[in-house]
Structure 1
């Protein structure tokens, strides 16, 4: 009998992708009625044979649902998961993560949650992703009101799912006591909804932190010279979120010594590019040495254009310097062409302005530039 019921379940799981959600657990109920139930229900065996868990997973999961004494509700839940399009492996992962999901009421909780989420514009595949990410939250109807709040903040369900993938605490935290006060405070600091959503990708716990902690972050951002309302305030929050006041002071001193900056120049650079505070010391050292020694830039020049230190040395700073130097030597651009302006423009504009116009005069320039981006130094770029 168990083999027959499992065969029915396996068939439903394998064909669910093309089937609607609702009929599956009803079909399963009919199938279950046609098969005589076992006199006793072995939870651990069910988890292995029907749900696909390993023995170790089943041993752990069984302790959380030891009260389950028949397969009817777990069978309906498995059919529900199959109806959402979850594969057998996905179903096993959900059950292993939250064994109590097998105890959820399909008709009173799970089905209504799906309907309400669909009504918010969350697609069937996205609902399936939500179940995989937060099964323990999905079996509560409170998830709907929380997602209803987050959707306008993140703009799209895709962005919201990305944020939840980074931090499921968004669904654990109190909206009224934690999340909403944090959002309101960040908005008072001049951040819009898009910026707050973007910030969550880097400081994943910012909305679920105690409001006092978020306020302290803002204070540290202001202490490095970036005022609230500034266009760089989001980056400043992002930079100081992982640093204490002592660590910030150490980073500032390192920048000062590395580039021979004055205190004022360090302040200028950090205000314009707060993320310098979280860059690797070794990486910054390599960039600063190249910019001062090979390009010949003065420390003060770099301090007022700190974005130079934020680009890749291998992928942008060095290759574009070689191209500009080559073009100047060949007389193809003015000698006073500013290096900084060639670094900050996008790759598309760089190609349009500095590579494509010189196809006849320098037919190998494009391939030499590509080679330089791979870390090579073509012979034509060597002038010593």
Structure 2
């Protein structure tokens, strides 16, 4: 039966979920695939989406997907953002429209991310992927370290994924940056990606290297703290380790630790 996908694409799909045939879904695959193709633009992306969530092909999902697309468009979400959202996690399209509408409201009103923002798909995914009580608990951790609601929102708008981190990782990161290094909430909220960096593999070793250089009072590159943590491992080595390998042999003890996550 012609369902609008090439033989290789169909093989990938059937390999991913053999129950498609067992459940008798082949008879109505064509209209569903045509609908997904209109949203995603290519057979390759259609296959990617279905491989991530084979429930896109369930008996009841076709009309639900249409209703959700209409809801997103009527709410002001562009087709480009919808495509991005579907590629991140296509199962969102199969949720009840009431669920999608509630999430849109929370994202726009509670977290102040406009639906036309580049961060919209990532903010939506972050909230959708966890229970409301879970991310509320994480926000309370930030506030226990003196963060205002405005700083939490600033961080979320810049990098929603920070609220997807585990409570333990958030606690450890805030303890290290704020209590040990003296970073202020304003700084961390405006540079949220450093909260995501691995403390053990990236942050602590690099901080130790910079500390050794400063204690030895050597001339070194005066890069900002955020930049020093963000640059690639090879650049960090070139800037802060290799030039001092003869002058400060101790730096070599840190070599195996300076590994980017």
Distance in 2 separating the partners of 1:329 and 1:142: 70
| 2:124 corresponds to | 237
Secondary structure in structure 2 of the residue aligned to 1:117: coil
Deviates more, 1:321-330 or 1:225-234: 321-330
| Structure 2 counterparts to residues 127-166 of structure 1, below 5 A | 127-129=13-15, 132=18, 134-136=20-22, 140-151=26-37, 153-154=39-40, 157-166=43-52
Partner residue of 2:93 out of 207, 231, 256: 207
> Counterpart in 1 of 2:234?
351
Runs of 4+ in 1 over 6 A off after TM superposition: none
- CA positional deviation for 1:249: 4.0
Distance in 1 (CA, whole Å) between partners of 2:237 and 2:107 is 40
- Verify: 1:195 aligned to 2:84, yes or no: yes
Bigger radius of gyration? 1
What SS is found at the alignment partner of 1:284?
Answer: helix
What secondary structure, in the 3-state scheme, does the structure 2 residue paired with 1:260 have?
coil
1:113 aligned residue:
2
Task: Give 1:218 deviation, angstroms.
Answer: 0.7
Q: Which of 176, 187, 200 in structure 2 is aligned with 1:314?
A: 200
CA 1:277/1:128 → structure 2, altered by over 3 Å: closer, same or farther?
closer
1:251 to 138, 145, 149: 138
Correspondence 1:69-148 to 2 at 5 A? 112-113=1-2, 116-118=4-6, 122-123=8-9, 125-129=11-15, 132=18, 134-136=20-22, 140-148=26-34
CA distance in 2, matches of 1:248, 1:305: 20
2:220 equivalent in structure 1: 333
Considering only aligned residues, what root-mean-square deviation do their CA atoms show, in Å? 3.2
CA distance in 1, matches of 2:130, 2:187: 27
| TM-superposition CA deviations, 1:166-209 (whole Å, max 9, x none) | 4222111443x321232344453245254123331xxx531001
User: How many pairs were matched up?
Assistant: 251
Q: Decide whether aligned partners of structure 1 residues 133 and 163 sit closer, same or farther in structure 2, where only a CA change above 3 A counts.
A: farther
What whole-Å deviation, never above 9, does each CA across 1:6-25 have from its counterpart, x for those lacking one? Answer: xxxxxxxxxxxxxxxxxxxx
Q: Secondary structure of 1:287's partner?
A: helix
In 1, Cα distance between the equivalents of 2:115 and 2:257?
43
- The answer as to whether partners of 2:197 and 2:203 remain within 8 angstroms in 1 is yes
Greater relative CO (CA pairs within 8 A, separation 6+): 2
| TM-score, normalised via structure 2 length | 0.78
Shift of 1:267: 2.7
CA shift for structure 1 position 311: 2.1
1:361 matches 2:233: no
Distance in 1, matches of 2:92 and 2:126, equals 13
Please tell me whether the aligned partners of residues 86 and 92 of structure 2 are also in contact (alpha carbons under 8 angstroms): no
Kindly report which structure 2 residues correspond to 1:266-305, keeping only aligned pairs within 5 A, or say none.
266-305=152-191
Structure 1 residue 286 displacement after superposition: 0.8
Partner of 2:103: 217
Distance verdict in 2 for CA 1:361–1:248, change over 3 Å:
closer
Q: Is contact 2:202–2:260 with CA below 8 Å preserved after alignment?
A: no
> With structure 1 as the length reference, what TM-score do the two structures score?
0.56
Shift in CA distance, 374/305, structure 1 to aligned 2, threshold 3 Å = closer
Classify the secondary structure of the residue corresponding to 1:134.
Answer: helix
Taking a change above 3 Å as real, the CA distance of residues 207 and 117 of structure 1, as seen in their structure-2 partners, is same
Distance 1:163 1:374 in 2: 30
Contact 1:323 1:369 in 2 (8 A): no
CA distance in 2, matches of 1:325, 1:152: 55
Structure-2 change in CA distance of 1:180 and 1:276 (3 Å): same
Give the Cα separation in 1 of the matches to 2:95 and 2:245.
56
